[in-house]
Structure formats: structure tokens, C-alpha cells
Amino acid sequence: MPYETQPPASHFIDGAYVEEKAGTEIPVIYPATGEKIATLHAATPAIVKQAITAARRAQVEWAAMTGTERGRILRRAADIMRDRNHDLSVLETFDTGKPYQETSVADATSGADALEYFGGMAATLTGEHIQLGENWVYTRREPLGVCVGIGAWNYPTQIACWKGAPALACGNAMIFKPSETTPLCALKVAEILCEAGLPAGLYNVVQGMGDVGAALVSDPRVDKVSLTGSVPTGRKVYAAAAAGIKHVTMELGGKSPLIVFDDADIDNAVGGAILGNFYSSGQVCSNGTRVFVHSAIKEKFLTRLAERLDNAVIGDPMDPATSFGPMVSERQMNIVLDYIEKGRAEGARLVTGGARIDRDGYYLQPTVFADVTDDMTIAREEIFGPVMAVLDFDDEAEVLARANDTEFGLAAGVFTRDLGRAHRVAAAFQAGTCYINTYNDAPVEAPFGGSKMSGVGRENSKAAIEHYSQLKSVFVRMDDVEAPF
């Protein structure tokens, strides 16, 4: 292996790498070859305790610093991340299998954006003054304390930063548990924050499976939990956090609709559908996997889609020309193959793809099913792989009702040239993030998150501040106190 993928140790606690080999072994597999590229160990209860103790100690002094001082460190970390974008992107590719063509523009860069944005915002966080006659109230915006972040495997660097940056900007400490499938990248985020001057103990990384996450969530010394993961995990984590009345952010799964009207620019709509189904080999939570296409343009849409899919460059993810990589793991590949089988069995028409690619690693063909109906499994359940379901429609009201007929509410998109219809449809969507004539943009300036079963709270933007801080009201009386006796 020409590139060093084995980190110095499994965990990063109190400003240093920490190893504890008693924890369960976590093999890290490069999805493009199936090769083991690192071995880590899950945190033992002693490691979890060490991380929480360090975070609690460090948070008090961090919160006492000015926002300007805190922000400067985060912005410095953003600069280091950008300087090291190449190496961080290579590591992200090893961790996830996503092509370098993607990771070099979407991962460390997005993490750096979050550090820069919340670093810039740190100094602007204030309470307010509320005059009540000659008396008054002022509010203090205070940190929550120790925040736990738990990540999914699709965007390990981005998730580590999207949770860490606002938490730190608000004066909290963070303990981040990456997904056991992609444990490498968050360690680099911790290293970089440290190098940028973040005091020890404020950004800790502990490895492990669900039980380590659960131990962190249920510890009474933890004040907030932010999870990116599936709905079933979200249910468990939300319930465990509720037992301690903890703050939560839940970024969960989706089965988002993408509606293409007959007046849409077909090439743009096909481009949106490709971005919303095949980027990161379909392993994106907000993907528009139910593509409703107006019956008048359906065949034209499918023909153009198949032509453009032929241009996908499937291969070595490290080759900058490669635009489509493997699934993150053998397990995820098999889950997706099962769904493809269900699509066939339930009568959907396979337009293209549908099989594993005959090469090392966990590669699947980009897959499109047409003539999908609302009741089919592939139209109801989150697949989290490169499988697009195309459904027909004729009428706006009908398609909106069908688009919203799901337990999820993460994202939704519409392609049309009719401005009135575009905004009417966006307003009617039951989803946290909507797109008009585009799909899957996620700039740090905009709130991101789900409604219905897809989540609670918002990441990014000013909205994230509300989820990493709390207001204290201080009443000040200038006149005399009137007591009844």
C-alpha cells in the first residue's frame, strides 16, 4: 500500500492518539479491492469514560474564551484541510470507495466550508436585550456542554465536520463516533483541529459499533446527541436520549421524490436524476430515488438517461477519470442486490444495470427500473444504492399526493419551466430540503435536515446554532420588589 492508511492508534482523546487493544477488532476494508487496509479496536468502557472526562474538563475553559478566539482556531483548521485536500481525499476514497473525482471536491472541501462558516459565526453569537418598562431581561446564548456525534459511513469527513464545527463554535466539546465501516477520516479531522490550536479534549474520536454509540448516548455526562444514520437506529438513539432529556439532532434516511414535468428541460432533468441516484454509487441520504416522470416525456427521458449512463466511467476509484465506484461494503452490496431482485420479482421493468460487476471489490451496475408502481418495495423502502425507480404520472395534484405518501420527508425535487408550478410544488412537498431544477446541492449556508421520519433538527446554516446552544434569560429589576407580605 503506497499510502499509509493505518492510523497511529484507534482513538483520539484529549489531544492524542490512544490505543486499547482489549476492544473488539475493527477491520477496515478498501471497497474497491476487498483488501484490509487498517485494523482498529472498538472503545472499551474505560476509553469511553476517558473521552467523556476529557471533554467535560476541556469544555469549561473553551466556553470561557471569546467567540473570536474560538472562531480563529476553526478557520485555521479549515485552511489546513484545504491545503491537505489531496491527501484527505485519497483517505476518504480508501475509507469509502467513493471515486477521487468526487472526494476531491465534496468531502474535505465541504468539511472545510463548515469549519470556516461556523468559525466566522462564532464571534457573532449573542443573546438579546428585552426592555420591560424600566426593568429588563437579557438572554445569554450558552453552550450545551458535551455533545456526542455519531456518523454514518457515506460521508465520514463531512459528517465529522458538520457536527463538530457548530458544536465547537458554540463553546461545546465534541465526542465523535464514526461508523465502524469508515473509521479513518474523523481521526484526521481531530488531528487537524489539534494542529490548528484547539485545546486538548475538545474534539475526541472514539471508535466502535452501535454499543459504543449507545454507551455514549446514555451517559449522564453527555448533554446532546447528533446522529446521522438510518431510521431504526434513530428510533433507538432518540429513545435513549429522551431518557436523559437530552438535546438531539437526527439526520436519518429517506425515499425522496423527484418530479419531472413534461415542460422540463430533459437534459437538466436527466442530470438531476443522475446526481440524485448515482453520485457516491447511490449512497446519499437525500437521493431522489422515486423519479416521477410525466407520461408524455417518459420514453424520451428513459432513452436519454440510458445514453448518459453509458458514459459512466466505472473502475479504479483512485483514477481521476473514474466517475462511479463500488458500494461501501460487501454487506451493503448484498442488501442492494436483494432490492434489485425484489424489483424484478414484483414486476418492474429493468431498463439498465441490475447486476454485480465482475471485478474485485463491491461494484454494482447503475440500475434503472421503469414502470414502477407506488406499492412496490423498491418504491417504498430506502435502498441506499445505485437503483433508480421511474414512476409515471399525468397530473400535478395526483403526483404530489403520491410523492408525499411516504413515512420519510428528507428531500424532494421538481423539474419544470413553469415558475408558478415550481414554487407551488415546493411548498406542497412534505420534506425538509427541496430542489427546483437541481438536485442534492448542500451548501453550508442552507439548513439541511428532514421532516417526518427523516429527522429532527437542522444541520448547517444559522439554524444549526439553535441545536448546539441554549438561551438563559436573566431578569433585572430596577424598581422595588413588590411582595404580598
- Contact positions toward ligand NAD, by CB under 6 A? 150-154, 177, 179-180, 209-210, 213-214, 217, 228-230, 233, 236-237, 251-254, 285, 382, 384, 410, 450, 455
Q: Which of 36, 59, 42 is nearest to 203 (CA)?
A: 59
What are the Cα distances from residue 476, in Å, to 133, 136, 139, 480?
A: 11, 5, 11, 11
Q: What is the end-to-end Cα distance of the chain in Å, rounded?
A: 81
The region that residue 257 occupies, defined by phi over 0 for left and psi between -120 and 50 for alpha, beta otherwise, is beta
Q: How far is the CB of 386 from ligand NAD (least distance, A)?
A: 14
Answer whether 286's CB lies under 8 Å from 154's CB.
Answer: no
**Nearer Cβ to ligand NAD (336/370):** 336
4 is in an annotated binding site: no
Cα 333 to Cα 161: distance, rounded to the nearest angstrom: 27
177 is in an annotated binding site: yes
Q: How far is the CB of 330 from ligand NAD (least distance, A)?
A: 14
Residues 6+ away with beta carbon under 8 Å from 152: 159, 179, 228, 229, 230, 285
Is residue 67 within 8 A of residue 285, CB to CB? The reply is no
- For residue 319, give the 3-state DSSP assignment: coil
* H or E segment to which residue 103 belongs: helix 100-106
Q: How far is the CB of 255 from ligand NAD (least distance, A)?
A: 9
Query: Residue 365 and residue 363: Cα distance in Å, rounded?
Result: 7
Nearer to ligand NAD, 166 or 455 (CB): 455
CA distances from 137 to 130, 456, 479 (A): 5, 30, 14
Q: Which is nearer to ligand NAD, 236 or 452 (CB)?
A: 236
Q: Is 219 annotated as a binding residue?
A: no
- Least CB distance from residue 410 to ligand NAD, whole Å? 6
Q: Are 173 and 147 in contact (CB under 8 A)?
A: yes
CB closer to ligand NAD, 112 vs 252: 252
SS3 content of the chain, % helix, strand, coil (to 5): 40, 20, 40
The verdict on whether residue 452 carries a ligand-binding annotation is: yes
Looking at this protein, which amino acid is placed at residue 322?
T
Annotated ligand binding at 315? The verdict is: no
Residue 153 is assigned to a ligand binding site: yes
285 is in an annotated binding site: yes
Shortest gap between Cβ of 119 and ligand NAD (angstroms)? 22
To the nearest 10°, report the CA torsion of 297, 299, 303, 305.
60
CB-nearer residue toward ligand NAD: 237 or 274:
237
The residue whose Cβ lies closest to ligand NAD is 213
Estimate to the nearest angstrom the gap between the alpha carbon of 3 and the chain centroid.
26
Query: Was 152 annotated as part of a binding site?
Result: yes
Active-site residues: which are they?
Answer: 163, 251, 285, 459
Which CB sits closer to ligand NAD, 242 or 471?
242
- Does the annotation list 253 as a binding residue? yes
How many angstroms from the chain centroid is the CA of residue 389? 23
Q: Which is nearer to ligand NAD, 97 or 229 (CB)?
A: 229
Nearest distance from C-beta of residue 384 to ligand NAD, angstroms: 5
β-bridge pairing 16-18 and 11-13: antiparallel
Query: Up-side HSE of residue 67: CA atoms within 13 Å toward CB?
Result: 18
Q: What cell does 125 get?
A: 453569537
Binding residues for NAD(+): 151-153, 177-180, 253, 285, 382
For the annotated binding site for K(+), the residues are 29, 95, 245, 452, 455
Binding site: what residues are annotated?
A: 29, 95, 151-153, 177-180, 245, 253, 285, 382, 452, 455
